[in-house]
Amino acid sequence: MLNIRSLCSRLKKLLSGDVCGLNAKEGTIVAGLFMLMVSIMQLIFEAGHFRYLKAHFRSTDNDYSNLFAFCIGTITFTCLTIIAVILLFLFIWKELFWGVAGYITWIFLYEISKICFLSILMPGNSGLPSSVKALEWFGLTMRLLSHIFWMLFVTAYAIELYKISRNTDDSSKNKRKTPPKLKFAKVKELGV
């Protein structure tokens, strides 16, 4: 039986980034590896689209300009995402808050651009089989659902880095108060 108290404790554990035996930093690394794997798969998929379009473009007189724009745009954004993942690993290593926060921003921009590409540049009469369009939308949906899970880790790690950077930037918190130096007299001065 699930009660409110156990639900709240599970949500706190989830939001703290300690899920599946991973802390926030480890989860961020795995999130980067996940996005790297997905990006490589997306590049392979879009290269297949590109080969398909080149073969069919020569044999027919149909206008494939939207599909070419879709393929080029998707390949460009995917290559930029691979660069963003590599930079994420660098920012994790250097423990830079702004880099991890920038990665979160990039993922949101990437997914919004993918939704726009799919809805605008891939119309119903594009020339691709309907199974490919369905696969594109399915891939987008699954990636969005996966990002919800992985962004918990990345956001928790960004918050940790922000707290660390805020504490190190505040010089008044860093100064340790040392006790006053005590002066001890030498034996000769005491007259013993």
What are the tens digits of pLDDT across the range 97-147?
999 999 999 999 999 988 988 888 776 555 667 777 888 889 899 999 999
> Can you say whether the dihedral through the CA atoms of 24, 25, 26, 28 is positive or negative?
positive
Query: Is 192 part of any domain?
Result: no
Residue 38 lies in a domain: yes
How far is the CA of 31 from the CAs of 17, 26, 149, in angstroms?
Answer: 12, 9, 9
| Mean pLDDT, range 1-25, rounded to an integer | 66
Is the pLDDT assigned to residue 175 strictly greater than 60? Answer: no
Q: Closest Cα to residue 82, out of 113, 50, 41?
A: 41
12 lies in a domain? no
Highest mean pLDDT among 54-58, 61-65, 154-158, 172-176: 154-158
State the Cα angle at 52 between 48 and 53, rounded to 5°.
120
Q: 47 to each of 19, 70, 73, 119, 176, how far by Cα in Å?
A: 36, 12, 12, 20, 58
Quote the CA–CA distance of 84 and 116 in Å, as a whole number: 20
Number of domains in the chain: 1
Residues forming beta bridges with residue 19, ordered by sequence position: 22
Six-digit token string for 110: 């990437």
Given a cut of 60, whether residue 95 has pLDDT beyond it is yes
Domain membership of residue 92 as a residue range = 22-173
Residue 9 lies in a domain: no
Q: Is residue 187 part of a domain?
A: no
Q: What is the pLDDT of residue 10?
A: 61
Tokens 């089989």 sit at which residue?
A: 129
* Per-residue pLDDT, 68: 78
Residue 84: closest CA among 32, 37, 40: 32
pLDDT of 58 reads 67
Distance (Å) of CA 184 to CA 113, 156, 187, 189, 190: 72, 51, 9, 10, 10
| pLDDT range class, residue 23, cuts 50, 70, 90 | confident
Higher pLDDT, 180 or 92: 92
Residue 110 lies in a domain: yes
Closest CA to 24 of 163, 173, 174, 170: 163
Model confidence at 11: pLDDT above 70: no
**pTM greater than the 0.85 cutoff:** no
Specify if 65 maps to a domain. yes
Instruction: Give the model's pLDDT for residue 28.
Output: 92
4-28 mean pLDDT: 70
What pLDDT is recorded for position 117? 83
Q: Is residue 27 part of a domain?
A: yes
Query: Euclidean distance between the first and final Cα of the chain, in Å?
Result: 78
Q: Which residue has the tokens 């995917």?
A: 78
Average pLDDT, the chain: 80
Q: What confidence score (pLDDT) does residue 22 get?
A: 82
* Per-residue confidence (pLDDT) for residue 13, from 0 to 100: 64
